């Protein structure tokens, strides 16, 4: 059985950043996953990131391998703040980051993790690997959330937005997108531009972000409205810069703010592609769904006037986000999951991202209730990597 000090499960922004720091410290590690898989395969072509260029960096110890450095090296345009980052550029950046640093990633899937002698045993296609410590850095993959009212619709009639990498795949068909967040709005715009007859049903009102506030700024303006990787304002600055302090808040406050802050919001640059172009029905709550003659029929409550309505379409897309949960990590043994102390259905981790199981660590969106909304965004990879690796390198 092969052995290593640390096994990193996941090769997205968080996993690659952790690996870069482990490598720099000379720690023996094995990393499993397909680099930038979610960004390359599960997000719609033509999409842009919500985060600005300065907040879309992976993290290596030197700080040299930034998105800006990648764009300069490959002849791509780059904007620190006032222009959105194309998804294709960001996915390529992650692969460049891996290549430039020489990070070795084993693309085999980890199918099972259990406790073993002096650590953990991981099962992969080629056999088993023994690791003293394990880092789970899988992002939101596997946490797609589809509400109960859609349960009776077959997959050919209803899918989650994360399965629509090709906006033209449903060209010529009628599609209803349910949701009010950036994924719903941008997917609707892209589908409309690719020949899909699309409309949006939103539970609440659709909100749009304002023009970007970009650093550097005059001192007085910066004090009144500081800018961080999460956006402008002191509240977001706190989440972005003091995740260690966030961890000290009461548990119920952390859960509420980790999931409730930075809620559904359309990017300001997207508004002209949706308003007046794609029908958006706000205040419409889906209460049920069924298949009728190879089409989807939705029962909908229109909040204004408490009116019951029905809508039909060839396909329904649930752009209803992600809900990280420890119990959905079925590659972790049931015994192992039962030993992990949780907060809001997610692992409760300490200041070094360590769980209640010695040697088992979690980073990324799965630990947002522990370290705050920062963990839901790419810019949280730097804090996670710089914080966790000294704990991983320690012999205890």
* Pure H helices in the chain: 13-25, 37-41, 67-74, 87-101, 182-193, 219-224, 234-241, 243-246, 251-260, 271-274, 334-339, 368-371, 380-393
193-202: b (≥16 Cβ within 10 Å) or e? ebebbbbbbb
Identify the DSSP state of 248: T
10 Å CB burial of residue 111 (0-12, 13-18, 19+) is: exposed
> Residue 210 has what pLDDT?
84
User: Quick one: 314 and 328 in the same domain?
Assistant: no
Give the total number of structural domains in the chain.
2
Q: Is residue 229 part of a domain?
A: no
- CATH code of the domain covering residue 164: 3.50.50.60
User: Quick one: 168 and 289 in the same domain?
Assistant: yes
Distance in angstroms between the alpha carbons of the first and the last residue of the chain: 22
> Residue 396 has what pLDDT?
65
User: Quick one: 309 and 339 in the same domain?
Assistant: no
Q: Is residue 285 part of a domain?
A: yes
Distance between CA atoms of residues 57 and 283, nearest Å: 37
Region class of 244: left (phi > 0), else alpha (psi between -120 and 50), else beta? alpha
Domain end: 302, 318, 334, which one? 318
> Residue 173 has what pLDDT?
97
Contacts of 13 (CB under 8 A, 6+ apart): 36, 58, 94, 139, 378, 381
- The residues with which 299 forms a beta bridge, in sequence order, are 288, 310
Identify the DSSP state of 16: H
User: Quick one: 120 and 172 in the same domain?
Assistant: no
Contacts of 56 (CB under 8 A, 6+ apart): 49, 67, 85, 90, 93, 378, 379
Tokens 């850095």 belong to which residue?
137
Q: Is residue 31 part of a domain?
A: yes
User: Quick one: 138 and 40 in the same domain?
Assistant: yes
pLDDT in tens, 12-71: 999 999 999 999 999 999 999 999 999 999 899 999 998 999 999 999 999 999 999 999
> Residue 102 has what pLDDT?
97
> Residue 177 has what pLDDT?
98
User: Quick one: 298 and 376 in the same domain?
Assistant: no
Q: Is residue 379 part of a domain?
A: yes
Q: Is residue 246 part of a domain?
A: no
> Is the full-model pTM beyond 0.85?
yes
User: Quick one: 164 and 44 in the same domain?
Assistant: no
DSSP, collapsed to helix, strand or coil, labels residue 281 as strand
User: Quick one: 50 and 175 in the same domain?
Assistant: no
> Residue 191 has what pLDDT?
98
User: Quick one: 161 and 304 in the same domain?
Assistant: yes
| Residues with pLDDT less than 70, the chain | 396
Write out the E strands in the chain. 2-9, 29-32, 112-116, 119-124, 127-136, 158-160, 174-178, 197-201, 227-228, 231-232, 280-281, 284-292, 295-302, 307-313, 315-318, 342-343, 346-347, 360-362
Tokens 């794609």 belong to which residue?
278
Token reading at 389: 């690796």
Distances in Å between the Cα of 123 and the Cα atoms of 101, 109, 225 are 27, 9, 49
Domain end: 303, 318, 333, which one? 318
User: Quick one: 327 and 377 in the same domain?
Assistant: yes
pLDDT in tens, 335-368: 999 999 999 999 999 999 999 999 999 999 999 9
Q: Is residue 228 part of a domain?
A: no
User: Quick one: 31 and 93 in the same domain?
Assistant: yes
- The residues with which 2 forms a beta bridge, in sequence order, are 129
Q: Is residue 256 part of a domain?
A: no
- 274: containing domain: 148-208+265-318
Token reading at 232: 């402008």
User: Quick one: 168 and 67 in the same domain?
Assistant: no
Domain end: 280, 298, 318, which one? 318
> Residue 148 has what pLDDT?
94
Q: Is residue 386 part of a domain?
A: yes
User: What Rg value do the Cα atoms of the chain yield, rounded?
Assistant: 22
Distances in Å between the Cα of 229 and the Cα atoms of 49, 53, 56, 57, 323 are 13, 9, 8, 10, 22
Token reading at 315: 């396909």
* Pure H helices in 181-270: 182-193, 219-224, 234-241, 243-246, 251-260
């Amino acid at each position: 059985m092969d052995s290593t000090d640390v096994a990193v499960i996941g090769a997205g922004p968080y996993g690659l950043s952790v690996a870069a720091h482990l490598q720099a410290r000379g720690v023996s590690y094995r990393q499993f996953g397909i680099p930038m898989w979610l960004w390359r395969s599960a997000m719609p072509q033509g999409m842009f990131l919500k985060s600005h260029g300065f907040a879309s960096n992976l993290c290596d110890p030197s700080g040299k391998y930034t998105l800006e450095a990648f764009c300069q090296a490959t002849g791509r345009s780059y904007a620190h703040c006032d222009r959105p980052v194309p998804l294709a550029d960001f996915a390529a950046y992650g692969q460049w980051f891996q290549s430039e640093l020489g990070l070795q990633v084993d693309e085999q899937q980890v199918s099972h993790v259990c406790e073993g002698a002096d650590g953990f045993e991981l099962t992969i296609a080629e056999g088993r690997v023994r690791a003293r410590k394990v880092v789970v850095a899988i992002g939101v993959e596997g946490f797609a959330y589809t509400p109960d009212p859609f349960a009776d619709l077959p997959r050919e009639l209803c899918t989650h937005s994360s399965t629509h990498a090709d906006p033209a795949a449903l060209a010529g068909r009628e599609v209803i997108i349910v949701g009010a967040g950036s994924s719903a709005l941008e997917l609707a715009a892209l589908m409309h531009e690719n020949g899909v007859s699309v409309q949006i049903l939103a539970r609440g009102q659709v909100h749009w972000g304002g023009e970007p506030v970009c650093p550097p700024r005059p001192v007085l303006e910066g004090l009144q409205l500081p800018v961080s990787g999460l956006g402008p304002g002191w509240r977001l600055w706190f989440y972005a810069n003091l995740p260690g302090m966030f961890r000290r808040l009461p548990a119920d406050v952390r859960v509420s703010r980790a999931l409730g802050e930075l809620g559904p919001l359309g990017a300001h640059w997207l508004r002209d592609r949706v308003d007046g172009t794609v029908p958006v029905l706000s205040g419409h709550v889906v209460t049920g769904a069924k298949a009728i003659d190879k089409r989807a029929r939705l029962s909908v409550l229109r909040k204004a006037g408490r009116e019951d309505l029905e809508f039909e379409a060839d396909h329904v897309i649930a752009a209803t986000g992600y809900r990280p949960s420890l119990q959905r990590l079925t590659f972790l043994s049931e015994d192992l999951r039962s030993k992990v102390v949780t907060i809001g259905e997610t692992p409760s981790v300490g200041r070094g991202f360590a769980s209640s199981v010695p040697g088992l660590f979690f980073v990324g969106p799965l630990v947002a209730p522990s370290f705050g909304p920062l963990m839901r965004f790419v810019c949280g990879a730097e804090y996670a990597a710089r914080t966790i690796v000294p704990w991983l390198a320690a012999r205890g």
